[in-house]
A and B are shown apart, each in its own frame.
Chain A
Amino acid sequence: MNFLPFDPVAAVLIVPVGGAALLALVPGYRASARLNIVISLTTFLSAVSLFVVDRPVPGTYMLVDDLNIVFIVLNTFVGFTTSIFSGSYIAHELETGRLTTTNLRFYHAMYQIMMFGMNLAFVSGNIGLMWVAVELATLTTVVMVGMYRTHEALEAAWKYFILGSVGIAFALFGTILVYMAARPVLGEGQDAMVWTNLIAKASAFDPALLNVAFVFLLLGYGTKVGLAPLHAWLPDAHAEGPTPISAVLSGLLLNVALYAVLRFKMLLAANPDAITPGPLMVTMGLVSLIFAAFMLYRRRDIKRLFAYSSIEHMGIIVFAFGMGGALANFAGLLHMVMHSLTKSAIFYAVGHIAQAKGTQKIADIRGLTVTHPALGWGLVIGVVAIAGMPPFGVFMSEFLVVTSTFARQPVLAILLVFGLLVAFGALLLRVTDLAFGEPQGNTARAEASYVPMYVHFALVLIAGIYLPPPLVAWFQHVAGLLG
């Protein structure tokens, strides 16, 4: 049903690029913040149209299939809501003088380039192009993390750059090895880097080479996912950059890297002689989960707290995909979507809270529900949701991960539950400090945009109570693809 000469794949790429160029030229920050929202909305609508318009035939460079549609739509949606949050966030930063209008021009242009990089990573049907796209998305976030130019921001950006580059290097080496494995079968040149060809012929590849390649890819892209022990950049980058970037990092960029890992996992699954990537991913996931859960107790900075929570949840997701099988994959996918929505909404709340209170220190923030009820209760809802309490969607996906694991590996399930409970305790402990008790610090009203935050929470709540059957069927279908 292609009535118009409209190509949604091209649109999700061209709109952000054109937008970036435009935003670099627009001088007023009010206009550019609105323009940023419009551009992000257009990208989101183009992504949604992928469901109705005929999909392009998988080519050398582009690929749209049932798996990456989920990622693209989620990516552009959170990109859109973050742009709304960003609008009110930066207005305050400008007032307090932390950012200048020139900074903001740069910031908006970079925001769209980052969206372009992430969308390109999702739609690329070519392992080389995907690598370039992930690199681009990372680079733009490095620059944005260092934007405040404070001591801490520079350290965070430097650390992120160093660890990110090492990750990028390993991922490229892994990519080269995959090409080497594919070349004898698919011949030289572009063909041996195209996903559809790789998956179709994977059974004939040299399994030893593929195994080594996967280890490098898991280490490389795993650094980006924030898996322990390669997570060191993540808390700093989240804490020191502008909060919209923290929201996008947690909600989206981690997913981009995860998507890359999943693709390569599918490749290995298609080769009967290669190692099963499951145990590796299960181990890394569990280690990240338990490590991050304990680290949550010692956090004094509110943004760092939720950054560690992101490590914890990425651990759960990687664990679920590592377990494999239709049910665990389903749970992993659902958890990924729920985490993206909840965590970005939490960062929207945290960003406004830190602005209203003028600090990120947990010890200096008390009684938020009294001083800033909308933000305070938003944070409470967010933490309740992310800690995995019913009736929110995160509860359902965690429940599915745990039950599917209990049925197959009870020991692993016990470890998983242990990690979840430890994290649960830490988060509730912190949120009671933050939200209740004697109000402390600045009580001035905050100029905040509550809509994106509560829309996300509503979606997570609805997903926890009732998932529409077509959506379930869709997720089940995708879970089946992941093997």
Chain B
Amino acid sequence: MSRLVIDIAHMLAGSLVLISFMMLYQDRLFALINIFALHAVVLTLSVTWQAYIQHAPHLYVTAAIALVFKAIIIPVALHRIIQRLGIHRDIETAVGIGLTMLAGMALVALSIVLMLRVTSDADPIAREDLAFALSVILLGLLVMVTRRNAVSQVIGFMSLENGLVLAATGAKGMPLVVEISVAFSILIAFIVVGVFLFRIRERFDTVDVAALDEYRGERQ
């Protein structure tokens, strides 16, 4: 495989990590959603590239799902929801941005050291892809734990899921990738558009998970 082919794959996967970092310091919900849409677009490009170099036409389906569903439908739906709920103000972050960025760097370093060490025998594309994918997953997790707002937690989860799709497409010839991305889309659609946000909004004045935390389990 030519050097250029590998470099492009790495560049796309690397950009995904970079965009995950951008999510960490967004303090407005609209901006966060837009960054997520960008995340999904880059994922689409990355998956398309993998489909092309692996000669795996079924991955084009995964790419199409990423583009249509995650880059268009979900962001638009979230925009609508946020406007309807009237919560397009600042996001409350549970941890300061500086600290979050430092933690993010530590996580990326960890995943690269870990994955490059254990995958010394794997082929070069999959090797770096896995390291990047794990970084995206851990950064998504970081977004989830540093935000209190239910919508931004969902976005954190979706970016985490993008990391999984990146890993699955990087693993050459992995079966069920399309099925898994469909399963995830259903899961997300379920949550985002459907019942949960709606019910939470129905019952509470805020979609802030902190408001839910009041109950902390034990009722006196």
Contact = CB atoms under 8 A, between A and B. Distances in A.
Contact of B176 (A129, A135, A139): A129
Contacts of B117: 208
B203 A165 contact: no
A128 interface: yes
Interface in B141-158: 141, 144, 150, 153, 157
B209 A180 contact: no
A154 B212 contact: yes
Interface of B: 114-115, 117-122, 126, 130, 133-134, 137, 141, 144, 150, 153, 157, 160-161, 164, 167-168, 171-176, 179-180, 183, 187, 190-191, 195-196, 199-200, 203-204, 209, 212-213, 215, 217-220
A211 interface: yes
B191 A161 contact: yes
The residue in A135, A165, A183 that gathers the most chain B C-beta atoms within 10 A of its C-beta is A165
A454 interface: no
B157 to A, nearest CB: 6
A97 interface: no
Nearest to A135: B183
A304 B130 CA distance: 40
25 contacts: A128-B175, A128-B180, A135-B187, A146-B199, A149-B199, A152-B215, A152-B219, A158-B196, A162-B144, A169-B161, A173-B133, A173-B134, A173-B137, A176-B167, A179-B174, A180-B122, A183-B171, A183-B172, A193-B174, A193-B176, A208-B117, A208-B118, A209-B118, A211-B118, A212-B114
B168 A155 contact: no
Nearest to A157: B196
A152 to B, nearest CB: 5
Contacts of A149: 199, 203
Interface stretch (A184-192, A430-438, A458-466, A471-479): A184-192
B180 to A, nearest CB: 7
A142 to B, nearest CB: 9
Interface residues of A, number: 47
B199 A361 contact: no
B39 to A, nearest CB: 16
Q: Which 9 A-B pairs have the closest CB atoms?
A: A188-B173, A208-B118, A128-B176, A155-B212, A190-B175, A176-B167, A212-B118, A180-B171, A209-B118
B218 A304 contact: yes
B183 A184 contact: no
A192 B176 CA distance: 12
A158 B176 contact: no
B173 A183 contact: yes
Given A176-B174, A208-B119, 16 more contacts: A135-B187, A151-B203, A152-B219, A158-B150, A158-B209, A169-B137, A172-B168, A173-B164, A183-B171, A183-B173, A189-B175, A190-B175, A206-B122, A212-B114, A300-B218, A300-B220
A180 B212 contact: no
Contact of A158 (B122, B171, B200, B218): B200
A165 B161 CA distance: 9
Nearest to A193: B175
A163 to B, nearest CB: 10
Contact of B164 (A143, A146, A172): A172
A236 interface: yes
A257 B163 CA distance: 23
Interface of A: 128-129, 131-132, 135, 139, 143, 146, 149, 151-152, 154-155, 157-158, 161-162, 165-166, 169, 172-173, 176-177, 179-180, 183-184, 188-190, 192-193, 206, 208-209, 211-212, 235-236, 239, 298-301, 304, 361
Nearest to A127: B176
A179 B171 contact: yes
A143 B195 contact: yes
A176 B171 contact: yes
A211 to B, nearest CB: 7
B180 A132 contact: yes
B122 A146 contact: no
Contacts of A300: 218-220
A158 B204 CA distance: 14
B176 A184 contact: no
Contacts of B171: 176, 179-180, 183
A154 B200 contact: yes
Contacts of B137: 169, 173
A172 B165 CA distance: 10
Contacts of A143: 195
B56 to A, nearest CB: 10
A128 B179 CA distance: 10
B153 A162 contact: yes
B141 to A, nearest CB: 6
Given A154-B199, A155-B215, A176-B174, A162 B167 contact: no
A308 to B, nearest CB: 11
- The residue in A152, A155, A177, A206 that gathers the most chain B C-beta atoms within 10 A of its C-beta is A155
A179 B176 CA distance: 11
Contact of B215 (A151, A183, A212): A151
A402 B127 CA distance: 44
Contacts of B119: 180, 208-209
Contacts of B180: 128, 131-132, 172
A239 to B, nearest CB: 8
A189 B173 contact: yes
A131 B164 CA distance: 13
Contacts of A131: 180
Contacts of A155: 212-213, 215
Nearest to B220: A300
